[in-house]
Amino acid sequence: MKELVLIVDDEPGILTTLSHILADESYRTVTTSSGAEALEIYRRERPDLVFLDIWLADRDGLETLQAIRELDPAAAVIMMSGHGTAATAARSIKMGAHDYLEKPLSLGQVVGAAAGALEARRVLAPGISPLDRNREQQKEFRAPQGVPCLVESSVPQRTIAASSVIYGLGLHSGSRTGMVIQPLPPGSGIHFITLPTGTAIPAHVGAVADTEYATTLSKDGQNIKTVEHLLSALHAAGVTNLLIKVHGEIPVLDGSALAFCDRLLEIGIVDQDAPRLELRIDRRYEVGTPGGKHLVVEPADELSVSYLLRYPAPIGEQAYEFTMTDFEAYRREIAPARTFGFLRDLPMLNELGLGSGGRLDNFILVGEDEVVNTELRFPDEFVRHKILDILGDLYLLGYPLKARITARFTGHRDNIAIQRTILGS
């Protein structure tokens, strides 16, 4: 049966136009100008998608959105307004709307938003667990001997207490980017949704498309860049279920993971009524060459990372070892360490179309003899950031990790290569 779309707007012309557009795309539609009637229709017919105006004669659109979400937490709702503000858009997204469209609406906007919202709903629909999807994807990468064991932990699964919006620049795109994070139920996993296309991409190594200067996930021609800093904070916080909607690239913020940690604490991290699964390494895995670039992952009862870094002056050789005892230790020792780049590499980055969002306050710029743009937060901030990246990249295994990691001169490409070795691809 064709998918049913409920259209709620107090302008008859909008109701007619949207109905025709969606009918041409093979959707069934039902319309109303009343927020109260919209709730009754939703209770009775459970439409697959709702287009909902902010301004209604009988009831505020945001109140109607809240009531629909209370009826059905998985409801796919697209808000519309001809005179809304950025604050209204942000509030509607925080309340669970999939998207926000400004009037006058174009055909492309309507069709794209509808397809994106319905794809997101399908990914998160009851009976289609994203966790099961992750497991299926892992099977594609398994060697005959199978993956290391998944162990049920005494630690609960976790998500966030409420939705939130984070704005910033993309480090490599240079574009302003927005990110919405929303809680998910136990067993869901971590998923990205691209905006405005609505393409669903799991936080899994199988979706990695590029590792040049950052980790990029991709599906169906849609990319999400620079996921490692956010994933590092989520790994440390033990957040296992989360939906992340983003335009192209995760905001770089100050170039570290500290702002992500602080936002998680501000929103609240909540334990869920289900034990989490942890990935416990069963034997020694390695990529690279001893004496050169070398990355080793081996069995351990806790998660620890030891990293050796060596660059010409002014960085020199740095070594650091971090054990993930708790979130606060990560927030104190690793999260503040910022990404860094070299003055000599700027022409090449520009040729590659990368680094366009680099500002004096969101990364460390290293010249021939000194750090050019900032005071270091730690004398060994560079090696700490390498550990931050490893913790983020390795969360693409799909589960919190228990292992001892030893790294020497490695980067994103090696972090992804070791995961594919572990999963047997």
DSSP string, 100-141: EEESSPPHHHHHHHHHHHHHHHHHT-TT--HHHHHHHHHHTT
Instruction: Determine the residue type at 278.
Output: E
**What does the pLDDT look like over 214-243, one tens digit per residue?**
999 999 899 999 999 999 999 999 999 999
**What does the pLDDT look like over 247-268, one tens digit per residue?**
889 998 999 999 999 999 999 9
In this predicted structure, the answer to whether residue 133 has a pLDDT above a threshold of 60 is: no
Is 412 marked active-site? yes
- Mean pLDDT over residues 298-303, rounded? 95
Most confident of 119-123, 184-188, 360-364, 398-402: 398-402
| End-to-end Cα separation, the chain, in angstroms | 39
Query: What whole-number distance in Å separates Cα of residue 285 and Cα of residue 99?
Result: 43
pLDDT of residue 359: 54
- Residue 220, sorted as left (phi over 0), alpha (psi -120 to 50) or beta, turns out to be left
Q: With bands split at pLDDT 50, 70 and 90, how would you rate the model's confidence at 167?
A: confident
**What does the pLDDT look like over 39-82, one tens digit per residue?**
999 999 999 999 999 989 888 899 999 999 889 888 999 999 88
- Mean pLDDT over residues 258-280, rounded? 94
pLDDT of residue 355: 47
Instruction: Determine the residue type at 88.
Output: T
Sheet holding 77-81, edge to edge: 28-32, 4-8, 49-53, 77-81, 99-102
**DSSP-based three-state secondary structure for 64:** helix
- Percent pLDDT > 70 in the chain is 87
pLDDT of residue 418: 96
Query: What whole-number distance in Å separates Cα of residue 102 and Cα of residue 79?
Result: 9
Query: What whole-number distance in Å separates Cα of residue 230 and Cα of residue 60?
Result: 35
- Choose the catalytic residue: 191, 204, 229, 412: 412
CB neighbour burial string for 9-18, b if at least 16 within 10 angstroms, e if fewer = bbeeebbebb
pLDDT of residue 136: 45
**pTM here?**
0.71
pLDDT of residue 190: 93
Any idea which of 132-136, 140-144, 156-160, 174-178 has the lowest mean pLDDT? Answer: 140-144
